[in-house]
Structure 1
Amino acid sequence: MRTPFRSRRTVLTGGAAALVLTLAITPTATADTSRPSRQGGSLVLVGGGLKDDNAQVYGEIIERAGGARARIGVITASSVPASQDPYADDPDKCSNSACNGAYYSEVFERHGAADAQWIPVDLDHIANADSEAVVRQVNSMSGFFFGGGDQSRYLTTLLNGAAHRDSKVLAAIRAKLAAGAVVSGSSAGAQITAGAHMVTGGESYEGLRDGSSPGYFEDATRLGYEPEGGFGFLRSGLIDTHTGAYGREGRVMRLAVDTGHDRVYALEENTALLVEHPGGPRERVRVLGPRGVAVFDLRRARVHEGPKTAGRGVDGKRATWSLSGVRYDYLTDGDRYDPRLRLTLPAYGKRPLAPRSTTPVPANTDVFHSAANPAGAPYSFLTTARALAATAAQRTAEATSYEDGPRFTVTFAKSPGFTAWSGDGATPQTLTGLSIHVTDR
């Protein structure tokens, strides 16, 4: 099976204040009113690494597109075009937009779609984004899937680049979503559905240390974002993907703080965030798949920044930075979330877990699964959170970044109202109301 391209990570940077500050995080005021955000359809957003045998996620997309009558339009413009793929003529090795489009089309049909077609828009066919023939093809579809790769290529091909204006094809997809269609995507295909401040790259440690900056950067560790965002289909929170697999919890908290967002949806691999009626008062969220989705709530978060001193920031200086009061919920298969009430509703059959273990939480010296640590383990942040939930011996646990200079310490705390939920009565699966503090030491 061909695995569509995905990059290891992405990052950006930003300056820090010259004075010691204590800031309340408030909802972002950056709203794009040029396009309607209230939709009648649904989104199925996968955190990357979507396996071709994930019948649950593919089946959900197909069912929402009409079941046995589903017609899926596959958009893979985030992949390199055939002209840039040295293996374009080899069906076993190719990884360009056309062959990835054929791959996903075959997978959707294998899972029961009546038809699945590649929408021929990519860097080799930018003009097709305004082709009336391609618009007619889009209008004949009942659902859409955006593949992974580099979301900047979606901006170039479907949003007219710096103009950030809908092409005719994107306008047609937007209208289909508003009329009730399903729009899905994986990795970059999920990221591009974001509104303002779509993440473009970066690592957690460098992001926490240096802050974020607008743009795309060759330095893969630098935390970056697109100020105007992507398609703006989902605006109730920032979106990140491959979260636990690449240890991106730190970068999304820092980006949310820097850009004034008070909520993050952090998606795990091979698992989907189902969003019904995105942008409207009835917006609801459900998780599908074998892993989970973290929701970071920063409404009551406080940032503490100190004066800049000599260090390793972008300008050769860095400021001390810490964050407190972040609420962390981790949702697993079947769990629901109400964005308006900010309420997690565990799936039927899950019950509150009363921890009986007295085993201490294991030490964790690489909470963000650093790419610099050859012995690092994915899902490290979640592992500590669940270990704390499982023990009666501790109310708090600390974990640290692999890097020092500074070393960041993450404190997990069972705040009042914290609950772990389990389907088997022994294993913490869903977590609600865990408190997160990040300290620069």
Structure 2
Amino acid sequence: MTRTSPTHRGAIGAHASPTHRRTFRTSAFPTHRRALGAACLAAALAVLAASPAPADTPSAHRDRGSLVLVGGGLKDDNAQVYGEIVRRAGGPGRARIGILTAASIPAAQDPDADDPERCSNSECNGAYYADLFRRYGADDAEWIPVDLDHLANADSDEVVARINSMSGFFFGGGDQYRYVTSLLHGERHTDSKVLAAIRAKLAAGAVVAGSSAGAQIASGPDMLTGGDSYPALRDGSRPGYFEDPSVLGYLPGGGFGFLRSGLLDTHTGTNGREGRSLRLAADTGHHTVYALDENTALIVDAPGSRREHLTVLGTQGVGLLRLSGAHAGVGPAGWHLHGARYDYLTTGDTYTPRTGEVTTPGKEPLAPSPTVPVPANTDVFYSPHNSRGTPYSLRGTARALAASTQRTATATTYESGPRFTVTLSEPRRFRALSADGTTAETLLGLRLDIDAG
């Protein structure tokens, strides 16, 4: 079973260009209306029972709750991630989870609202997730009726009372700007009563989870609203929300501000978004980017405190892009970035923002092979205009470099005018680690430079 969570029309979290990648980035929603098969669900739960949960941080961390942020594409058989959310909400038979899907279009804008097999609006998506969480053991899961059709509910005392009975919350994908317009008060950017109640529950120990736009909305200042990597590198970033999905846009006021230790990006490897993340970080003065890949969670304990601690859980990984020692500028040929650090963390790896420490339990250093060359890469950020492009392109070159005895590898953008070259190099501190002794999985300490030419 490999189905993906509901498609959300007009999604910013999965901004699609009008080319081949539109079908790659989304999935047909009607198939997700079907319930999990009993045998398939039993197998998924067996995996969950057999898999150890990520090690808890000290109990003192729990008084600030936790975040489970997924890079999109969360499959309905991902027992690790769904099970972790349920566990952090109190465990099977105790967890009570509120589902927020205001990032989806409201039912009034969905021509298929009356068709349970085809609908893709906030209410039917909320019912989908609620059913899924109950099947993964939640005692109760219900849709919180706040969306563009029910804006007044964001300040309803009755809805707040329902929020206060919950132990966990899940924000679905779609367009994160709809969360801004439905749960924050306009230009004041202040909390509605419902958001204030969720924030208080998080501080008291609840779990707040989200996928795609539902993860992106956890951002602090300078939340991404869209953009493709090549035009981002060429043209830079602009504050605001833009109908053109290729424009690198951001909201200076941010999202809900649950996570402030770095910028967030989602669908990173599948959409080649590392370039846009690096440009926005450099433009806005951020030193860290959490570049989340699909079907994979970044778990954040004690968010916003000195004890903040992050753990990766899932099938792909999280790119950790650090610019504290980097410098960027515009030369005669175009924009450049020198001295950034690229780490790629995989399941079980942890990161502590205050100290910069990374741990990699269960993984050992990988010895490179002198017989493995690094393949040429002429589409490092997986251009939406290249029908033969490959997802996870930057990661692919980085892992190939780690597996070889080369110390440097270059890759270029598909577009030219100017064409950008990415150079990855291995300083002395670089390490490649593997759980199976053969595959370069976690990468620590690569230097990343971008030059126009």
Same fold (TM over 0.5): yes
For the structure 1 residues 171 and 198, does the alpha-carbon distance in structure 2 shift closer, same or farther, using more than 3 Å as the test?
A: same
2:421: which partner in 1?
409
TM superposition score normalised by structure 2: 0.87
| Residues 304-343 of structure 1 aligned to structure 2 (within 5 Å) | 304-306=329-331, 320-343=334-357
Work out which of the residue numbers 7, 15, 20 in structure 2 matches 1:9. Answer: 15
Q: What does the per-residue CA deviation read over 1:216-263, in whole Å, with 9 as the maximum and x for residues that have no partner?
A: 111111100000000000000000000000000000000000000000
Q: What does the per-residue CA deviation read over 1:194-234, in whole Å, with 9 as the maximum and x for residues that have no partner?
A: 00000000000000000000001111111000000000000
Q: Which has the higher helix share?
A: 2
Work out which of the residue numbers 363, 384, 392 in structure 1 matches 2:376. Answer: 363
2:24: which partner in 1?
none
Deviation at 1:39, TM superposition (A): 7.2
Q: Supply the distance in 1 between the matched residues of 2:7 and 2:210 (Cα, whole angstroms).
A: 13
Contact 1:10 1:200 in 2 (8 A): no
Q: Supply the distance in 1 between the matched residues of 2:331 and 2:447 (Cα, whole angstroms).
A: 23
Q: Does 1:290 align with 2:315?
A: yes
Deviation at 1:357, TM superposition (A): 3.6
Contact 1:39 1:278 in 2 (8 A): no
Q: Supply the distance in 2 between the matched residues of 1:406 and 1:88 (Cα, whole angstroms).
A: 46
Percent of aligned positions with the same letter in both sequences? Answer: 65
SS at the partner of 2:430? strand
SS at the partner of 1:74? strand
The structure showing larger relative contact order (alpha-carbon pairs under 8 Å, at least 6 residues apart) is: 1
Q: Supply the distance in 2 between the matched residues of 1:77 and 1:56 (Cα, whole angstroms).
A: 25
Deviation at 1:409, TM superposition (A): 0.2
Deviation at 1:338, TM superposition (A): 1.1
SS at the partner of 2:160? helix
Q: What does the per-residue CA deviation read over 1:326-363, in whole Å, with 9 as the maximum and x for residues that have no partner?
A: 1111000111111111121112x210111124221000
| Residues 20-169 of structure 1 aligned to structure 2 (within 5 Å) | 40-68=64-92, 69-169=94-194
Work out which of the residue numbers 160, 165, 174 in structure 1 matches 2:199. Answer: 174
Tell me, which stretches of 5 or more residues in structure 2 are unaligned?
A: 18-61
Deviation at 1:162, TM superposition (A): 2.3
Work out which of the residue numbers 416, 424, 431 in structure 2 matches 1:419. Answer: 431
Q: Supply the distance in 1 between the matched residues of 2:383 and 2:152 (Cα, whole angstroms).
A: 41
Q: Supply the distance in 1 between the matched residues of 2:125 and 2:310 (Cα, whole angstroms).
A: 28
Question: Partner amino acid for 2:149?
Answer: D
Q: Does 1:429 align with 2:453?
A: no
Tell me, which stretches of 5 or more residues in structure 1 are unaligned?
A: 12-37, 308-318
Q: Supply the distance in 2 between the matched residues of 1:269 and 1:161 (Cα, whole angstroms).
A: 31
2:27: which partner in 1?
none
Question: Partner amino acid for 1:387?
Answer: A
Aligned residue pairs total 402
Q: Supply the distance in 2 between the matched residues of 1:370 and 1:357 (Cα, whole angstroms).
A: 31
2:57: which partner in 1?
none
Q: Does 1:271 align with 2:296?
A: yes
Q: Supply the distance in 1 between the matched residues of 2:390 and 2:294 (Cα, whole angstroms).
A: 15
Question: Partner amino acid for 1:322?
Answer: H
| RMSD across aligned positions (CA) | 1.4
SS at the partner of 1:209? helix
Q: Supply the distance in 2 between the matched residues of 1:10 and 1:175 (Cα, whole angstroms).
A: 35
For the structure 1 residues 39 and 266, does the alpha-carbon distance in structure 2 shift closer, same or farther, using more than 3 Å as the test?
A: farther
Q: Supply the distance in 1 between the matched residues of 2:122 and 2:63 (Cα, whole angstroms).
A: 28
Question: Partner amino acid for 1:352?
Answer: P
Contact 1:77 1:153 in 2 (8 A): yes
Q: Supply the distance in 1 between the matched residues of 2:104 and 2:167 (Cα, whole angstroms).
A: 23
